[in-house]
């Protein structure tokens, strides 16, 4: 049986919940499309989030990896195309560290592209009624750090696994404290993640990267 590692983050930035964790934790132990789902929570800490992720990758050796994070202010599910090799924090992390213009991996590649079928995932999400789009930036906070760390691990270990990152909006419970900001119900996010997993697991050998586009 295949194994999928899903990750999400703890709350940060003064929030008491993180919508990524509220949605992702419901998948732990489930079987979807013939694969077993394993869930891990990651700290919103630059110094440790990548290490916790790679420890889980080393332990689990998954076939697919889907990392999920909060992007307050975004209006839909955004499937990330690229992670860049820089930490540049607008706010401090949960250990009050705020790196500015620091590389994630010294002398590492400037960027990595997702190895998931990002456009097929977006199309499938829209088909089930969930607003979604491809995003060209994962930011420069811990979400980007984790995505870059994941793709660097896949590359440097020659893993046959595929992985990438999805950002989700605030939950309504958060948006009430941010007037005018979009939100998405957890049930819709769970539907989006389950649909994404099904697409990821049904795609075997037809993922191509052409000019930075993953199909």
Is residue 15 annotated as part of the catalytic site, yes or no? no
Are 50 and 149 contacting, i.e. CB atoms less than 8 angstroms apart? yes
Residue 130 neighbours by CB under 8 Å, 6+ apart:
76, 77, 188, 191, 192, 195
**Cα separation, 144 vs 30, whole angstroms:** 27
In 3-state terms the chain splits into helix, strand, coil percentages (rounded to 5) of 35, 25, 40
Burial 33-45 (b: 16+ CB within 10 A, else e): eebbbbbbebbbb
Q: What CA–CA distance (Å, rounded) separates 104 from 92?
A: 16
Catalytic pick from 15, 80, 145, 152? 80
Which residues, including other chains, have CB under 8 Å from residue 69's CB and lie 6 or more apart?
8, 9, 20, 142, 143, 146, 165, 166, 167, 168
Please give the DSSP secondary-structure letter assigned to residue 160.
Answer: -
Q: Given the residues 15, 67, 143, 145, select the one marked as catalytic.
A: 143
* Measured distance CA(102)–CA(52) in Å, rounded: 19
CA-based nearest residue to 12, from 100, 96, 137? 96
* Catalytic (active site) residue 173: no
Question: Would you call 194 a catalytic residue per the annotation?
Answer: no
Catalytic residue among 167, 173, 178, 194: 167
Tell me which residues are annotated as active site: 80, 143, 167
């Amino acid at each position: 049986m295949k194994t999928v590692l899903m990750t999400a983050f703890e709350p940060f930035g003064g929030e008491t919940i993180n919508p990524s964790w509220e949605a992702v934790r419901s998948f732990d132990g489930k079987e979807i499309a013939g694969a077993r789902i394993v869930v891990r929570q990651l700290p919103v800490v630059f110094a440790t989030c990548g290490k916790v992720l790679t420890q889980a990758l080393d332990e689990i050796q998954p076939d697919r990896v889907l990392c999920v994070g909060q992007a307050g202010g975004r209006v839909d599910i955004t499937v990330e195309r690229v992670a860049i090799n820089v930490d540049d924090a607008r706010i401090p992390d949960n250990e009050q560290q705020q790196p500015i213009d620091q590389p994630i991996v010294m002398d590492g590649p400037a960027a990595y592209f997702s190895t998931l079928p990002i456009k097929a995932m977006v199309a499938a999400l829209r088909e089930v009624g969930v607003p979604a789009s491809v995003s060209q930036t994962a930011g420069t906070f811990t979400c980007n750090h984790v995505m870059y760390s994941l793709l660097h691990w896949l590359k440097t270990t020659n893993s046959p696994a595929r992985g990438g990152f999805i950002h989700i909006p605030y939950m309504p419970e958060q948006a009430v404290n941010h007037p005018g900001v979009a939100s998405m119900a957890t049930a819709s996010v769970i539907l989006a993640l389950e649909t994404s997993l099904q697409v990821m697991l049904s795609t075997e050998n037809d993922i191509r990267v052409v000019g930075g586009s993953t199909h």
